Amino acid sequence: MAGRKDGARPRRGGGIASIIDTDAAAAHEVFQSYAGMEGLPAAPPRPRITAREFFLSVYPGLLAAATIALAASWLSQHYGAPVMLFALLFGMAFHFLHEEGRCVGGIEFASKAVLRTGVALLGARITLDQILGLGWAPIAIVVAGVSSTLALGYMLGRAMGLTRGFGLLSGGSVGICGASAALAIASVLPKTRESERDVILVVVVVTALSTVAMIVYPLLVTALGLGETRGGLFLGGTIHDVAQVVGAGYMISPGTGEVATYVKLLRVALLLPAVFAIALVIARKGEGPAQLAAPLPLFLLAFAALVLVNSLGFVPAAAAAAAGEASRWCLVVAISALGMKTSFRALAQAGWRPVAVIVLETLWIAGLVLAGVELLT
């Protein structure tokens, strides 16, 4: 994944700016805020963005992602192949648009804000009865996968001669929710000379491997004959980022996509307790920064609220159908943008040790979740 070449950084305070800047730039901002906390000079905050500035910054990239999504949908309807796969592959062919220029902000916006909107709207198609019908197995599988992957990351990082921070960052990214988890965990880790480099490496490698998993895992689910529910459990419990989980699930079927999304959001919900636990351990050693920055994602709360409202029967059938169609389009646009963000060249430049650690963590959580699916469902 390529960072912005104009040196832009996200504005302080999050908001709109946090969803039109790259994850690499967000990592720079994390460490810039550390410098300010330590009494060192930090760059002044950029002025608040206006509605016109926001529109001008996002519309070229958003239009490009929407155009790719339309082309992918047309081909899917005419050739019967998964629309998410077409969107991803077409997006990857236009990666140069994310390297620099006017499209970067809109591509970031589509891959984050549009994705979160699509995931939240999925709640209008799911009820509590469907979730409870899955039983306790998803919760057990998710808790075991997240906790063991964090521990494995810590041990592999030390065994490979990497920093302790890299092991925790990679384990959290693979186990919980990709780049978002890396940035949240980075906010509570001790700041060292290698800290920012570690975060960038994790973001690059996890994003690339998660894209590979989005393509390969649906084939594995089909080959193993896992079916909709068990396949959704596997995909939601193993793939790193929310976007790729949704894309992989809907490549198989809408039912698989819904189960995969629910299981993935269980993992996302563990971000706050995981970051808190890491911060608590580090604080006891007197090493960590003074603040904890891991808010519960708003799209997760919106998803849960829509599931509850739908379960109570307050969502008319026509509204649920409209929300489902809007969600589908949001997700196809987001996957197109995700393809444009994917840089396998950046993965090749990361070096073999970080890649090896994250590959081993990925294989670990895949094997553990597959075993859980076979034994508990």
C-alpha span between 22 and 345 (Å, rounded):
17
pLDDT tens readout for residues 16-31: 666 777 777 777 666 6
Helical axes 317-341 vs 242-252, angle rounded to 10°: 120
pLDDT at 124: 85
Per-residue pLDDT at 290:
44
Query: Residues 279-298: what's their mean pLDDT?
Result: 63
Per-residue model confidence as pLDDT tens digits over 38-47 = 444 444 555 6
- Select the more confidently predicted residue: 258 or 344: 258
Question: What integer is the mean pLDDT of 261-266?
Answer: 91
Q: According to the model, what pLDDT value does residue 11 have?
A: 41
Give me the residue spans of the domains in the chain: 15-38+50-376
- Mean confidence (pLDDT) of the chain: 82
pTM (global) more than 0.95: no
Position 81 confidence tier, pLDDT thresholds 50, 70, 90: confident
Of 115-124, 199-208, 283-292, least confident by mean pLDDT is 283-292
User: Out of 47-56, 209-218, 231-240, 313-322, which region has the weakest mean confidence (pLDDT)?
Assistant: 47-56
Instruction: Please report which confidence band the pLDDT of residue 33 belongs to, taking 50, 70 and 90 as the band edges.
Output: low
**Average pLDDT of the segment spanning 119-142:** 86
Mean pLDDT of 58-82: 90
Residue 337 has pLDDT above 60, yes or no: yes
pLDDT at position 35 is: 47
Give residue 329's pLDDT: 92
